């Protein structure tokens, strides 16, 4: 029996800046996970990953990671991915300093959002 | 201190030139990431969670004033205004952009620095006692030998593709401040019964997934045999080390699986051959290097004003009580500048702080700075009469925290705030523990206590050798912290033992507090340190403090 497919997004780091980005439905790489394409089908996920792997002039290390739907777009399932939408805890650097709203939950950390 | 000769300079410049071209080819699409990745790693450039990270080697932890200033410039110009000093005496920049990295490497080359061999399966930055050349308890300065090893291992054709990374640490003092037993090779300078200088050679130490303490492979190696012997160890490991399984590839597993005696026999066989092949070239080079490490011209000055200032100023006195170490020259002290102000990120220094420390080294420290594996900065040669002036400047720069060796002087790796391999965060745990003990205001009463935190089993935070070790894990999508007790990284080394079930983030500070308060309640007297108490009473009472009897029965 096939297990139910957990929805996914394609994520990577940008080649020059190294910051986290997500693949959108219209083939852009967005620094805001809210814009990511939420993929709900295994076959489509593989196609999108293949597409991402062909974008090596723009991004590094594309991969599929688990995500969940929300009214404002996809949110991370695991706290590691939540960090990637936010930046480090010890300084206000990274996405949190760039006007992006952190997404997903970090258990034990009340400062999380969406 | 060592200055590059023409050969070093040309070599480093050539590597930067090559890397610049490689970066260009990566950006214009001629190189794929698979092709580029090993090239960038050879130059210390990692990709982390939020950005690239550049790891710059600080060989044996020694920095000149111009080098520290250059690190400040780099932090300001190409990064976010700070740098992170690591447990391997490196500095990491957390936010460089790929296209800027060749310029950063050129800026480093200007002051004789580089990021070569800070990654990959090669001999990494050779680390040394951070008090080398200054400590009162030292037999000899180990840094000339560390520099010899650096030159020998840099781009060594035979050792660029070892089964796994390889770390060497060296100390010239019987009091081991370089954690030599947790390294692939640990070297300890000793003298034999006839008073001749040599080394005790340890092999097969390492933390990480399978922590092991190094074992003595040679109890006395004459000083002149060092390089051929180290080469023999590397050669034997290169051949016998496993390449089929990354987790079994470190030399500790090679020694363990073959047995120390069989491994030693292989090393000795190679050594017999290599020893005659070297024909003394290494000794000639070492003699040349030693000239660079001549001790500074120590001066004499009265200490009355220092003593008077100390008597009149309790905050200064507290700082001198914790942050000074005996120097071999009369009237001098070794100053440790704490990068562990409660609430700060262990090991981080802003560009401004780096400049203040460089200025102080220039004005009062014979131009020398050190990076300790405990993530602090050291001014190795300071005359005590200059301490009041130094302390005042440090205070203005938020660098005068009097906590070296105490609860809040915590080692913490970057953890999941930066590191792509992490399973949990370490920095916020260190911050919260330090803040809590500041609130309790008991750390001076508690005395020497080393807390070390890693954000995954790779153990960059040395948690196995912390008196209290904390390992961050991912338990079903939640950060969870496992405590080990009784570790020790010095000459009385031991690995910490696991206590029991881990704690979620919101409970770890309370758990550490219970251990420390429990220790205060049962220590024999104020002289018995935390570690001594653990060794005397064993883990059981501490398990009681941590879990309570009930919880332990249930666990
Ligand atoms: S211990 Fe793990 S999390 Fe910490 S720096 Fe090392 S690899 Fe990263």
Q: pLDDT tens across B406-429, in order?
A: 999 999 999 999 999 999 999 999
In this predicted model, what pLDDT tens digit does every residue of B229-250 receive, in sequence order?
999 999 999 999 999 999 999 9
Sign for the pseudo-dihedral over CA of B463, B149, B146, B111: negative
| pLDDT over 50 (residue B553) | no
What is the arithmetic mean of pLDDT over B17-25?
98
pTM, two decimal places: 0.95
Q: How far is the CA of B338 from the centre of ligand 1 (A)?
A: 22
**Both tokens assigned to A8:** 């996914």
- Predicted pLDDT of residue B48: 98
In a mutagenesis test of the A interface, which of B28, B50, B349 is the best target, namely the one with the most A β-carbons within 10 Å?
B50
Phi/psi for A85 (5° steps) reads -85, -5
8 A C-beta contact, residue B401 and residue B353 = no
Helices (H), B369-472: 387-396, 427-440, 443-446
How far apart CA B173 and CA B133 sit, in angstroms, is 10
- Predicted pLDDT of residue A111: 53
How far apart CA B366 and CA B65 sit, in angstroms, is 9
Which residues in chain B have their CB less than 8 angstroms from residue A60's CB? Answer: 33, 47
- How far apart are the CA of B296 and the nearest CA of chain A, in angstroms? 39
8 A C-beta contact, residue B448 and residue B442 = no
Does the distance separating the beta carbons of B478 and A107 come in below 8 Å? yes
What is the arithmetic mean of pLDDT over B50-78?
97
Residues 6+ apart with CB under 8 A from B98: A15, A16, A17, A18, B23, B26, B27, B45, B52
What is the arithmetic mean of pLDDT over B446-467?
98
| pLDDT over 60 (residue B158) | yes
- Write down the mean pLDDT value for chain A: 93
- How far apart are the CA of B33 and the nearest CA of chain A, in angstroms? 7
Asked whether B87 lines ligand 1 (CB < 6 A), one says no
In this predicted model, what pLDDT tens digit does every residue of B463-508 receive, in sequence order?
999 999 999 999 999 999 999 999 999 999 999 999 999 999 999 9
- Predicted pLDDT of residue B278: 87
- How far apart are the CA of B417 and the nearest CA of chain A, in angstroms? 4
Which percentage of chain B shows pLDDT scores above 90?
Answer: 96
What is the arithmetic mean of pLDDT over B370-398?
98
Asked whether B460 lines ligand 1 (CB < 6 A), one says yes
In a mutagenesis test of the B interface, which of A18, A31, A57, A91 is the best target, namely the one with the most B β-carbons within 10 Å?
A18
Residue B167 gets the label, from left (phi > 0), alpha (psi -120 to 50) or beta, of beta
- Predicted pLDDT of residue B552: 46
Asked whether B413 lines ligand 1 (CB < 6 A), one says yes
Residue of B nearest to A107 (CA): B478
- How far apart are the CA of A71 and the nearest CA of chain B, in angstroms? 23
- Predicted pLDDT of residue A106: 86
Residue of A nearest to B24 (CA): A16
Confidence band, pLDDT 50/70/90 cuts, at residue B2:
confident
Does the distance separating the beta carbons of A91 and B29 come in below 8 Å? no
How far apart CA B489 and CA B498 sit, in angstroms, is 16
Which residues in chain A have their CB less than 8 angstroms from residue B416's CB? Answer: 79-80, 83
Asked whether B458 lines ligand 1 (CB < 6 A), one says yes
| pLDDT over 60 (residue B331) | yes
Cβ-based interface (< 8 Å): residues of A facing B: 13, 15-20, 56-57, 60-61, 77-80, 83-84, 87-91, 93-95, 106-109
| pLDDT over 80 (residue B1) | no
- Predicted pLDDT of residue B515: 98
The count of residues in chain A is 114
Asked whether B454 lines ligand 1 (CB < 6 A), one says yes
Does the distance separating the beta carbons of B27 and A88 come in below 8 Å? no
- Predicted pLDDT of residue B3: 83
What is the arithmetic mean of pLDDT over B137-159?
94
- Write down the mean pLDDT value for chain B: 96
Residues 6+ apart with CB under 8 A from B321: B402
Domains of chain B, CATH where assigned: 6-109 (3.90.480.20), 134-293 (3.30.413.10), 304-396 (3.90.480.20), 411-554 (3.30.413.10)
How far apart CA B300 and CA B330 sit, in angstroms, is 8
Give kind and range of the element (H or E) at residue A10: strand A8-14
Q: How far is the CA of B414 from the centre of ligand 1 (A)?
A: 7
| pLDDT over 70 (residue B549) | no
Asked whether B421 lines ligand 1 (CB < 6 A), one says yes
| pLDDT over 60 (residue B550) | no
| pLDDT over 70 (residue B13) | yes
Q: Which atom of ligand 1 is nearest to the CA of B454?
A: 1
Q: Which atom of ligand 1 is nearest to the CA of B422?
A: 3
Residue among B33, B80, B417 minimizing CB distance to A89: B417
CA distances from B355 to B172, B387, B399 (A): 29, 18, 12
> How many secondary structure helices (H) and strands (E) does chain A include?
2, 5
- Predicted pLDDT of residue B95: 98
- How far apart are the CA of B28 and the nearest CA of chain A, in angstroms? 7
Residue among B27, B348, B505 minimizing CB distance to A15: B27
Site to substitute for ligand 1 among B124, B419, B424, B453, most atoms within 8 A of C-beta: B419
Q: How far is the CA of B412 from the centre of ligand 1 (A)?
A: 9
Confidence band, pLDDT 50/70/90 cuts, at residue A109:
confident
Does the distance separating the beta carbons of A107 and B479 come in below 8 Å? yes
Confidence band, pLDDT 50/70/90 cuts, at residue B554:
very low
| pLDDT over 70 (residue B555) | no
- Predicted pLDDT of residue B39: 95
What is the arithmetic mean of pLDDT over B433-448?
97
Asked whether B48 lines ligand 1 (CB < 6 A), one says no
Which residues in chain B have their CB less than 8 angstroms from residue A13's CB? Answer: 47, 51
> How many secondary structure helices (H) and strands (E) does chain B include?
18, 21
In this predicted model, what pLDDT tens digit does every residue of B188-228 receive, in sequence order?
999 999 999 999 999 999 999 999 999 999 999 999 999 99
What is the arithmetic mean of pLDDT over A9-38?
98
Does the distance separating the beta carbons of A84 and B98 come in below 8 Å? no
In this predicted model, what pLDDT tens digit does every residue of B269-319 receive, in sequence order?
999 999 999 888 899 999 999 999 999 999 999 999 999 999 999 999 999
- How far apart are the CA of B375 and the nearest CA of chain A, in angstroms? 17
Which percentage of chain A shows pLDDT scores above 70?
Answer: 94
Asked whether B347 lines ligand 1 (CB < 6 A), one says no
What is the arithmetic mean of pLDDT over A44-73?
97
């Amino acid at each position: 029996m096939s297990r139910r497919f957990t929805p996914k997004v394609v994520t990577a780091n940008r080649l020059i800046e190294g910051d986290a980005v997500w693949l959108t439905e219209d083939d852009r790489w967005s620094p805001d996970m809210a814009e990511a394409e939420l993929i709900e089908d295994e076959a489509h996920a593989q196609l999108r990953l293949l597409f991402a792997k062909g974008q090596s002039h723009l991004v590094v290390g594309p991969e599929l990671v688990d995500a969940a739907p929300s009214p404002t777009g996809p949110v991370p399932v695991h706290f590691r991915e939540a960090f990637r939408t936010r930046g480090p805890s010890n300084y206000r650097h990274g996405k949190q300093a760039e006007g992006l709203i952190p997404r997903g939950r970090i258990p034990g950390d009340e400062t999380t959002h969406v | 201190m060592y200055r590059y000769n023409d050969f070093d300079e040309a070599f480093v410049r050539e590597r930067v030139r090559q890397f610049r071209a490689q970066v260009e080819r990566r950006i214009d699409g001629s190189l794929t990431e698979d092709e580029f990745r090993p090239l960038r790693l050879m130059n210390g450039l990692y990709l982390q969670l939020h950005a690239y990270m550049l790891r710059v080697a600080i060989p044996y932890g020694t920095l000149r004033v111009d080098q520290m200033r250059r690190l400040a410039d780099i932090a300001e110009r190409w990064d976010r205004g700070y740098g992170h000093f690591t447990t391997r005496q490196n500095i990491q920049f957390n936010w460089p952009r790929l296209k800027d990295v060749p310029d950063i490497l050129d800026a480093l080359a200007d002051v004789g620095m580089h990021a070569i061999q800070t990654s990959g399966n090669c001999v990494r930055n050779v680390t040394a006692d951070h008090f080398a050349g200054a400590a009162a308890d030292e037999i000899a300065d180990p840094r000339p030998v560390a520099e010899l090893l650096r030159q020998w291992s840099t781009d060594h054709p035979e050792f660029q593709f070892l089964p796994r990374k390889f770390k060497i640490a060296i100390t010239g003092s019987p009091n081991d401040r370089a954690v030599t037993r947790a390294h692939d090779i640990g070297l300890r300078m000793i003298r034999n019964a006839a008073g001749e200088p040599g080394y005790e050679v340890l092999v097969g130490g390492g933390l990480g997934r399978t922590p092991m303490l190094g074992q003595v492979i040679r109890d006395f190696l004459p000083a002149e045999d060092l390089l051929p012997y180290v080469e023999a160890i590397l050669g034997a490991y290169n051949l016998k080390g496993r390449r089929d399984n990354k987790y079994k590839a470190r030399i500790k597993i090679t020694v363990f699986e073959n047995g120390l005696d069989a491994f030693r026999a292989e090393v000795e066989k190679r050594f017999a051959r290599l020893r005659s092949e070297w024909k003394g070239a290494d000794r000639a080079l070492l003699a040349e290097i030693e000239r660079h490490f001549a001790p500074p011209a120590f001066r004499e000055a009265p200490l009355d004003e220092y003593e008077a200032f100390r008597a009149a100023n309790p905050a200064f006195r507290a700082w001198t009580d914790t942050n000074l170490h005996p120097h071999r020259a009369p009237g001098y002290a070794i100053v440790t500048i704490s990068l562990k102000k409660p609430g700060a990120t262990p090991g981080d220094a802003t560009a401004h702080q780096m400049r203040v420390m460089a200025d102080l080294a220039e004005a009062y420290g014979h131009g020398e700075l050190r990076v300790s594996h405990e993530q602090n900065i050291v001014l190795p040669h300071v005359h005590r009469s200059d301490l009041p002036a130094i302390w005042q400047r440090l205070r203005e720069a938020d660098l005068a925290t009097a906590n070296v060796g105490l609860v809040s002087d915590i080692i913490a790796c970057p953890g999941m705030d930066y590191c792509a391999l992490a399973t949990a965060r370490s920095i916020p745990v260190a911050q919260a523990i330090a803040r809590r003990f500041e609130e309790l205001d008991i750390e001076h009463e508690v005395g020497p206590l080393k807390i070390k935190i890693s954000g995954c089993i790779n153990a960059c935070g040395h948690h196995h050798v912390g008196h209290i070790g904390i390992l961050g894990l991912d338990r079903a999508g939640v950060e969870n912290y496992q405590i080990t007790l009784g570790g020790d990284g010095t000459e009385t080394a031991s690995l910490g033992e696991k206590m029991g079930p881990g704690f979620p983030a919101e409970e770890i500070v309370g758990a550490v507090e219970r251990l420390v308060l429990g220790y205060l309640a049962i220590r024999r007297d104020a002289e018995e340190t935390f570690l001594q108490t653990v060794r005397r009473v064993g883990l059981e009472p501490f398990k009681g403090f941590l879990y309570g009897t009930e919880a332990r029965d249930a666990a």
